[in-house]
Structure 1
């Protein structure tokens, strides 16, 4: 009889998805059972596919996803521009002002992802009953759909593991209300092994890129390989590879093993060796052109201009942007010079504090990713110039929300520099893309084999796309020929920071590298610009916002309710 029980929360959401489809004939909710959705007479798997779309719904959009702020504003790359600095969810994260009861809702993801895991398992357990007749590349759609659900389940587990460490693995069991659900947490190692094994099992029964426009949201073989590589990269990283504070197997491996870097390198290389994905020429087009050659897996969004509205500079356009995200000086300083490829701290780089953004001077230009990611004083936008000097259009100092650092987020926006107004465009969220996997590979390969030619070539490709000049033979693309492993490590980490800025990478990277307790216990910096006539004076503001990080914060606390109702649920160290 359990087979006929209504799984209310899941099925109600599916009914909502079904009724949103114009082709769907209204069907009484009390009649929607597992047998209706996984109909043995539905050779096109219409209802089952709609259920699968419901499993995808648990993927989360990353744009301004933390109470209207970017998650990166809880790292050292940005701060929220909000006037309520002590009460916003992202400021609670950045100041470490949370516990197992008060974790901000948008990062209290335990229930969200377990709902997704449950839905995926229901699909996996029942899709075999549907006599699906369609095929793609000789593979039955039934097996493709099943593999997509298994990927999503593995992905949701990874999202939990990178936040909490080991979590309960439920396998193919779907718990009912009357079941004993006092299950213990699995170890970190068991969770990583599960994610990797699932990716291995499904990778050859998924669609392969490029996909048709109507399937841009679908999981592909590339996505499975990217997830496996990312999970292994986290597993090899200092926080989890023998470096967890408590030496608890729930929080990571209890001893270091260099071979874990090799596993991560090999996994990323398998994806790169497919040759399916290519870097797009214009960095901005990654986020504007659907189904482009760099995208591996996305969470589909909508057509609109919400990114411009939330994050565009204040004072320009009608309506003007809200300027929600203020990039830090630390992030700005991470972008190298375009001509030399050198960091601005190098006295031979060509950097000048009197023209820090290279306006009207090609010799002082920065890496193109800088102008494509950040609005700075003098940047072009909507047929106007951004003014972040004191009293300027974009920093009027009249008690309204404005930049706290002298900068605004530019990334993900359309090419509206010379337009009168913004226009609608695709607003998707990139989960995996080629450049990120290239960086996964470079990091892991450098750790196991040092700065090999392949590592250097990988970074060269990203820097070349960013407009950095090849330069001299002794330092092509700003990378000296005799670079050491330690120097390459820092270079790769910096490349990751600027290539993946505002993509929710830095927040987790500083944790897995175990540097958060250093970088997050320093005040955030910005730039104060004063204009006198035509003269601009730049002064670094060394104390924009004080953030805080304690060692226990490397992992989130298990939600209080989960610990209280389950005596076998062990809380993380320090919580």
Structure 2
């Protein structure tokens, strides 16, 4: 009765050596996900795919039809992670068995720390999605009825448990040289990300009544980032537009000193990604994001009265170079093409080029792209450090120089001067709950975070933690259209597309009739074709979907997802998040 299977692996006969632990942790890396877009957030003009948060904001999702919580037995990808309970079980199996391994104690703790890193990753996703969750420190058995039927633990308990896991991870995971395996610095980076999220969430979400505990998390974010900044040996790499671009389209990031953790892709073993789809597949970027990029002299574009009616070919002039490395500029030539790519006004006209592989050796089409992709990079660490200090009111000019201005210096934008910050009414209106003597500093740090980290999957989380969900109510916009008729959008002085109100208005003839790509706002029957112009016969591209099914952000309800009703039926001790 005490003999274990000889022909299969069991918990009892497997976790014997550090090598066994390493083998087991290899199976946890599927939990780790990168992001190459900001769907669905105000960085996106429109998205043609199905997105659950978008559907919820438009009143199409409730407890009866929502996914998630492993409702259909499949992994639920949310916020860059698996969030089904099988994922948690994998972590807990390691954590309850790992200490049985015989060998170097530091090696054992290293792999146990990796298990705690992944458990923290899982629970952070749960907190962001549901506000809280049952905390399970061990793998459940069918006999654990009380645990299987427990309700959510408090947000405080779950977040404190996440932070305890990450503290252990940061203290015990080794500072290995590999940047494709979980290392000490990745654990500290995740700790900093969690701590900033929770500290600002508690500060701005007054409905939680946890404002008094917010500062402790902000202090922890500063501690974790200081550890990386002073001991990790990382740096902001490259110069100008190319230096920024190479962080996202390089075939080999192994020598890049900005990478804390990245995903490695390799043609020789057939391990590819799908980054070529960021350009013109299902979304474009928004005017709101485009307008966030400063001029080269460090002033907001909103203070330039001529900018509001600039055409697409003009908006990149004298701007932060990160803009044209994120949004497709006029004259951009796609991989394998010889002519400049035309913008697609049906998505708004502001295509995404960040992460798009520029050469054919890295761009092989669907699932066959081989550019390495950041998961944690040093720039985010600097931004977390600056934001946490600004929120605490302790930030200094020296702090700005060691964080924000390192990012601006890379691309040649005039450094931020705390004593001479612009009065930008646009950004102030985006974040009306930022007040006090330090408000301008916080706003400019948020701007820097938005443009530096655009399309890296953080924007929706930022909107939620800053408690500014009302940003999602604003009609999304694309590029400016000066009027109906032919338009030059490649920058060669010749028209490339034409936009008319109806097919009957199309007055093209001769060579133009065959050469230009034509779009209309209505079809022959008078049906709207997906876009309209903000001023009727001119203006910014807007989307019929937003007009016909507008978003009404209900706070605090829409900061959380509902738990599927079937799961509440199975376990009546589960309670719906606030508002549901």
Q: Same fold (TM over 0.5)?
A: yes
Relative to structure 1, is the Cα distance of residues 525 and 80 closer, same or farther in structure 2, using a 3 angstrom cutoff? closer
Alignment partner for residue 55 of structure 1, among 14, 28, 34? 28
Matched residue of 2:27: which SS? helix
Pair 1:559–1:104, CA change in 2 (3 A): closer
8 Å CA contact 2:284–2:350 kept in 1: the answer is yes
- The 2-side partners of 1:254 and 1:558 are apart by 26
2:184 pairs with 1:217: no
- What are the residue-to-residue correspondences of 1:256-295 with 2, within 5 Å? 257-281=214-238, 282-287=243-248, 288=250, 289-291=252-254, 292-295=256-259
For the Cα contact (< 8 Å) 2:363–2:370, is it kept in 1?
A: no
Give the 3 Å change call, closer, same or farther, for CA 49–369 of structure 1 in structure 2. same
**2:7 matches 1:45:** no
Matched with 1:557 is: 562
Quick one: distance in 2 between partners of 1:79 and 1:100?
28
Q: 2:137 aligned with 1:160, yes or no?
A: no
Report 1:26-37 matches (<5 A).
Answer: 31-37=8-14
Structure 2 CA distance for aligned equivalents of residues 103 and 60 of structure 1: 22
| Deviation, structure 1 residue 557 | 1.8
Match of 1:463 in 2: 408
SS in 2 for 1:489: helix
Superposed, which structure 2 residues align to 1:296-445 within 5 Å? 296-299=260-263, 303=267, 306-313=273-280, 323-338=281-296, 340-347=297-304, 353-354=309-310, 364-382=317-335, 383-388=337-342, 394-395=343-344, 403-416=346-359, 422-423=363-364, 426-445=370-389
- Whether the 8 Å CA contact 1:58–1:113 is kept in 2: the answer is no
Using the TM superposition, give the Cα deviation of residue 436 of structure 1 relative to its aligned residue in structure 2, in angstroms: 0.9
Structure 1 distance, partners of 2:361, 2:77, is: 37
- TM-superposed CA distance for 1:434, in Å, is 1.0
Shift of 1:525: 0.5
CA 1:535–1:480: 2 relative to 1, 3 Å: farther
- Alpha-carbon separation, structure 2, partners of 1:142 and 1:436: 30
User: 1:19 aligns to what?
Assistant: none
Mapped to 1, the partners of 2:328 and 2:3 lie a distance apart of 56
How well do the aligned residues superpose, as a CA RMSD in angstroms? 3.3
Which blocks of at least 5 consecutive residues in structure 1 are unaligned?
A: 7-26, 64-69, 134-138, 314-322, 389-393, 396-401, 471-476
Give the Cα–Cα distance (whole angstroms) in 2 for the partners of residues 421 and 370 of structure 1.
23
Structure 1 Cα separation of the partners of residues 329 and 570 of structure 2: 50
- 1:182 maps to 149
Structure 2 unaligned spans of 5+: 69-75, 422-436, 499-537
Residues 504, 100 of structure 1: alpha-carbon distance in 2 compared, 3 angstrom cutoff: farther
Q: Distance in 1 between matches of 2:204 and 2:539?
A: 42
Displacement, 1:506? 0.5
- Spell out, residue by residue over 1:469-517, the C-alpha distance to the aligned partner (whole angstroms, 9 max, x if none): x4xxxxxx2546333621111111111111111111101100100111x
- The within-5 A match list for 1:91-106 is 91-92=54-55, 95=58, 97-104=60-67, 106=76
Q: Which residue of 2 aligns with 1:493?
A: 446
Per the TM alignment, residue 267 of structure 1 is displaced from its structure 2 partner at its CA by 3.0
SS of 2:94's equivalent in the other structure is: helix
Give the TM-score, by structure 2 length: 0.75
CA deviation vs aligned residue, 1:48-74 (integer Å, no higher than 9, x gap) = 4332212222223434xxxxxx4x221
Cα deviation, residue 119, structure 1: 0.7
How far 1:373 moved relative to its partner? Answer: 1.2
SS in 2 for 1:456: helix
Sort the Cα spacing of 1:254 and 1:439 in 2 relative to 1 into closer, same or farther, 3 A: closer
Q: 1:542 to 1:478 in 2, by over 3 A?
A: farther
Asked if 2 retains the 8 angstrom alpha-carbon contact of 1:376 and 1:386, the reply is: no
1:523 aligns with 2:475: yes
Contact preservation (8 Å) 2:116, 2:168: no
State the alpha-carbon separation in 1 of the partners of residues 171 and 185 from structure 2: 10
Contact 1:222 1:296 in 2 (8 A): yes
The more displaced of 186-195 and 487-496 is 186-195
Once residues 33 and 465 of structure 1 are traced to their aligned partners in structure 2, the CA distance between those partners, rounded to angstroms, is 52
Contact (CA 8 Å) 1:222, 1:271: kept in 2 or not?
Answer: yes
For residues 378 and 327 of structure 1, the distance between their equivalents in structure 2, rounded to whole angstroms, comes to 17
Work out whether residues 42 and 476 of structure 2, in 8 Å CA contact, stay in contact via their aligned partners in 1: yes
Alpha-carbon shift at residue 301 of structure 1 (Å) = 5.7
How many residue pairs get matched? 487
Q: Counterparts of 2:309 and 2:211 in 1: how far apart (Å)? A: 47
The alpha-carbon deviation at position 122 of structure 1 amounts to 0.6
The separation in 1 between residues aligned to 2:409 and 2:579, in whole angstroms, is 45
Shift of 1:298: 3.5
CA contact (8 A) 2:284 2:348 kept: yes
Shift, 1:277, TM fit? 1.4
Q: Provide TM-score, normalisation by structure 1.
A: 0.75
